[in-house]
């Protein structure tokens, strides 16, 4: 079995005295799909924000690919190979699908400002390579018919796929997906789940995703971590987590 690509050790985070995460520890193996589930306000998005540097944890450490850090910037996280989508699309609504996906390659540019401004030196070759790379990902996610369309004109579910494409084009080793199926009907959820599974299978990308639909999670993820009020209440295979009384209590409010 592959070793852990991501390790969290006693990670805690608070906002003005309100505890968002408390002593959180778990590992994510390289090449797996790990789902974070739990009620609203459980700390799931806060955890993704800590992993990719949007928030700085108050305590604990993160180990990514053997590198230990207590704090990291989003730019540094992206440079290390951590990609991210957000619950609410942060797309450039007035740009085309292709231009949005190309925006995900900004950190990979090696051209100077002078070369870029006058389209000389490495700029032309890099532009061709980036466009080819973006078009491959667009085709992979069945977005080719929309490549020239302005994003704001597209259905919500298609926009979520564009968001995934932009995160994926940078070839991250770890992909953090914050509710990639939020707001979708069941058919759209199944379609998106299929794309997430295919990303994992085709590219070997390690994925950590937040999803509220437990049925989708059980069919997609091989590893499930359950949070409740910022604490881990379960961590393991989907079958074991499903029958865990602490998980049932977290979702249903039952006493056991």
What are the tens digits of pLDDT across the range 64-74? 999 998 778 89
187: CB partners within 8 A, 6+ apart = none
Q: Model confidence at 89, in pLDDT bands (50, 70, 90)?
A: confident
Mean pLDDT of all residues belonging to the chain = 89
Q: How confident is the model at residue 254 (pLDDT cuts 50, 70, 90)?
A: low
Give the model confidence (pLDDT) of 48-59 as tens digits: 999 999 999 999
What pTM was estimated for this model as a whole?
0.88
Q: What is the DSSP string of 52-101?
A: TTSS--SEEEEEETTEEES---HHHHHHHTEEEE-SS----TTSBHHHHH
pLDDT digits (tens, 9 = 90+) for 21-44: 999 999 999 999 999 999 888 999
Q: How many CB atoms lie within 10 A of CB 168?
A: 21
Tell me which of 53-57, 106-110, 150-154, 163-167 is least confident: 106-110
Looking only at the bridges linking them, the beta strands covering 206-210 and 174-178 are: parallel
**Euclidean distance between CA atoms 188 and 107, whole angstroms:** 31
Q: What is the set of domains in the chain, with CATH numbers?
A: 1-81+173-256 (3.40.50.300), 92-171 (no CATH)
């Amino acid at each position: 079995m592959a070793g852990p690509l991501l390790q969290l050790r006693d990670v805690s985070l608070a906002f003005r005295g309100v505890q968002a995460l408390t002593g959180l520890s778990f590992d994510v193996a390289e090449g797996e799909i790990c789902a974070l589930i739990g009620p609203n306000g459980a700390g799931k998005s806060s955890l993704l924000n800590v992993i990719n540097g949007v928030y700085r944890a108050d305590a604990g450490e993160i180990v990514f690919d053997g590198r230990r850090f207590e704090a990291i910037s989003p730019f540094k996280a992206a440079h290390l190979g951590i990609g991210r989508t957000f619950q609410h699309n942060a797309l450039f609504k007035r740009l085309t699908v292709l231009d949005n996906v190309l925006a995900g390659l900004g950190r990979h540019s090696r051209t100077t400002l002078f070369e870029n401004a006058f389209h000389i030196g490495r700029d032309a070759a890099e532009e061709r390579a980036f466009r080819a790379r973006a078009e491959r990902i667009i085709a992979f996610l069945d977005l080719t018919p929309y490549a020239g369309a302005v994003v704001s004109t597209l259905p919500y579910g298609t926009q979520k796929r564009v968001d995934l494409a932009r995160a994926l084009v940078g070839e991250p080793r770890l992909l953090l997906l914050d509710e990639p199926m939020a707001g979708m009907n069941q058919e759209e959820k199944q379609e998106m789940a299929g794309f997430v599974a295919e990303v994992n299978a085709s590219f070997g990308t390690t994925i950590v995703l937040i999803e509220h639909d437990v049925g989708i999670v059980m069919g997609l993820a091989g590893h499930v971590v359950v949070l409740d009020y910022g604490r881990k209440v379960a961590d393991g295979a989907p079958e074991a987590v499903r029958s865990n009384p602490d998980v049932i209590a977290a979702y249903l409010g039952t006493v056991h």
